[in-house]
Amino acid sequence: MKNFIFENPTKIIFGRGQISQAGKEVARFGRKVLLVYGLESIKKNGIYDQVISSLQEAGLKIVEFPGVKSNPMLAHALKGIALARETQVDVVMAVGGGSVIDTAKTIAAGVQADHDVWDFFTYKKPVLGALPVLTVLTLAASASEMNPAAVMTREEGMQKFSFRSPHIQPRVSILDPTALFSLSAAYSAYSAVDAISHLLESYFNNEETDSPFQDRLAEGLIRTIMESTEIILQEPANYNARANMMWATTWAFNGLPAAGLGRVTLPVHMIEHSISAIYDIAHGAGLALVLPGWMRYTFEKNVRKLAWLAREIFRSEGSDENAAAEGIGKMKDWFASIGCSTSLTDAGIPENDIDKIAENAFVLAQTWQLPDYTRDVIAEVLRHCR
């Protein structure tokens, strides 16, 4: 096990009815709050009314900033930064999933920056401070509610980049599983793929050759996510399944599964970022296209670990080569069984676009310092995703 420091200061308030705590928690950090949310879903399912009521009961002044879309755009975040400065808010509260939370984090950091906020995403400038960020989670997938990262797409060049800083780590996140009851079957499935991909990135792409604790933690979380998803697709309002899903996806990418593994890289996410930036598909949907193909691409390098995963998750048998191949096929079949497209062709992405995707992804590979992922290598991975 490699040396590591694990610190996660986010306060989690978990359970049915806990959205009522929002006002009290926000009030600990300020009196005027920028409320960041998406389109109409939280107004239809009643979460908006719960949040507003709690904030008003706490005597807070509310500045609303709606309109965040899936694959959040930098231009919209810039409007939020301008509004936060103009209204001099003290706190930023995100009510939504990863896209909304990442927008809130970008706004919180951007308010205090005297430079182009995109410099955070290209690592030209460090984050020196940010407004406090709190969240009410309505889509469990990205773990942005309990990690110090944010992802944003810049319209110029369709670049989907990320940045990390302890300053944007949410101070408090409220996780009420009933907020997921109205989530569509498609986004419930995409959430599962996203969280599983988080776990498998650190599972395969690290510097430690002997990691039984982290491996078994990841395998247990993957099995929980898969079992919960299968129940959810049959019973969308099953509280325990939604609760297990909500908590497991949070832990999938909050730092613990990767602790002790040394440097962890995210090549599957790097490639997918270009797909969702160019084609504006859901992040989880894009990961379902890339992950099985990347597993096939890396077969020879990771055959032992692929076989281990297949035996633990799918009870595969036989030689490492046979078990690994079967495991990849069963993972792809499971993605398909929950309603995800599992190839570029199925998603309507033409083979002729592979070079375009690879060129876009190569820019991020350089930013993330992934020297093994040249344009040609990325294109080869994508050909395994056809």
In tens, the pLDDT along 192-245 reads 999 999 999 999 999 999 999 999 999 999 999 999 999 999 999 999 999 999
Question: Residue 223's pLDDT is what?
Answer: 98
Question: Residue 95's pLDDT is what?
Answer: 98
Write the pLDDT tens digit of every residue in 304-328: 999 999 999 999 999 999 999 999 9
DSSP letters of 272-304?
HHHHHHHH---HHHHHHHHHHHHHHHTHHHHHH
Question: Residue 47's pLDDT is what?
Answer: 97
Spatial separation of the C-alpha atoms in residues 217 and 212, rounded to whole Å? 8
Spatial separation of the C-alpha atoms in residues 235 and 226, rounded to whole Å? 14
Residue type for 4, please?
A: F
Helices (H), 235-282: 239-251, 267-279
pTM of the model: 0.96
Write the pLDDT tens digit of every residue in 31-60: 999 999 998 899 999 999 999 999 999 999
Looking at the chain, the whole-number percentage of residues with pLDDT higher than 90 is: 99
Is residue 98 pLDDT above 90, yes or no?
A: yes
326: tokens are 């079967």
Is residue 99 pLDDT above 90, yes or no?
A: yes
Spatial separation of the C-alpha atoms in residues 116 and 99, rounded to whole Å? 20
Question: Residue 355's pLDDT is what?
Answer: 97
Write the pLDDT tens digit of every residue in 250-293: 999 999 999 999 999 999 999 999 999 999 999 999 999 999 99
Averaged over 299-307, what is the pLDDT?
97
Question: Using an 8 Å Cβ cutoff, are 343 and 289 in contact?
Answer: yes
Spatial separation of the C-alpha atoms in residues 356 and 271, rounded to whole Å? 12
Is residue 92 pLDDT above 90, yes or no?
A: yes
Binned at pLDDT 50, 70 and 90, residue 339 comes out as very high
3-state class (DSSP) for residue 219: helix
Question: Residue 40's pLDDT is what?
Answer: 86
Write the pLDDT tens digit of every residue in 109-159: 999 999 999 999 999 999 999 999 999 999 999 999 999 999 999 999 999
Domains of the chain: 11-179 (3.40.50.1970), 185-383 (1.20.1090.10)
